[in-house]
Amino acid sequence: MFETQYNDEMVAEVRRLEAEQAGRLLRVGFVGLGIMGSAMAANLLKAGHRLLVWNRAAEKAEQLVAAGAVRAASPREVAAQCEIVITMMADPTAVTAVRDGEDGILAGLGQGTGYLDMSTVDVATTQTTRALVQARGGSFLEAPVAGSRKPAEDATLTIMAAGDAALYEKALPLLQAMGKKVLFLGEAGNAARMKLANNLVMGGMLTAFCEGMALVAATGLDPAQFLEVLDAGAMSNPMFRMKGPVVARNDTFPVAFPLKHMQKDLRLALRLAEEAGQPLFTTATVNELFKKALAEGSGDDDFAAVSRVVRG
pLDDT tens column, 130-159: 999 999 999 999 999 999 999 999 999 999
In the prediction, which pLDDT does 14 show?
A: 52
> Which of 186, 204, 227 represents a domain boundary (last residue)?
186
Query: For residue 223, what is the domain's CATH number?
Result: 1.10.1040.10
Same domain as 234, residue 179 = no
Pick from 293, 307, 312: which is nearest to 212 by CA? 307
Same domain as 30, residue 109 = yes
Residues of the chain with pLDDT under 70: 1-24
> Which of 186, 221, 253 represents a domain boundary (last residue)?
186
In the prediction, which pLDDT does 96 show?
A: 98
Same domain as 168, residue 198 = no
* SS3 state at 101: coil
Q: What is the largest CA-CA distance in the chain?
A: 65
In the prediction, which pLDDT does 8 show?
A: 54
Residue 170 is a catalytic residue: no
Same domain as 156, residue 8 = yes
In the prediction, which pLDDT does 25 show?
A: 83
| CA atoms within a 13 Å half-sphere pointing along the CA-CB vector of 248 | 15
Same domain as 160, residue 13 = yes
Domain count within the chain:
2
Same domain as 247, residue 160 = no
pLDDT tens column, 215-230: 999 999 999 999 999 9
In the prediction, which pLDDT does 24 show?
A: 65
Same domain as 225, residue 132 = no
- Which of 46, 180, 195, 260 is catalytic? The answer is 195
Residues in Cβ contact with 107 at an 8 Å cutoff, skipping those fewer than 6 apart = 76, 79, 101
Residues in Cβ contact with 223 at an 8 Å cutoff, skipping those fewer than 6 apart = 213, 216, 217, 244, 248
Distance, C-alpha 225 to centroid of its chain: 32
In the prediction, which pLDDT does 232 show?
A: 97
Q: How far apart are the first and last CA of the chain?
A: 47
Range of the domain at 83: 2-186
Query: For residue 173, what is the domain's CATH number?
Result: 3.40.50.720
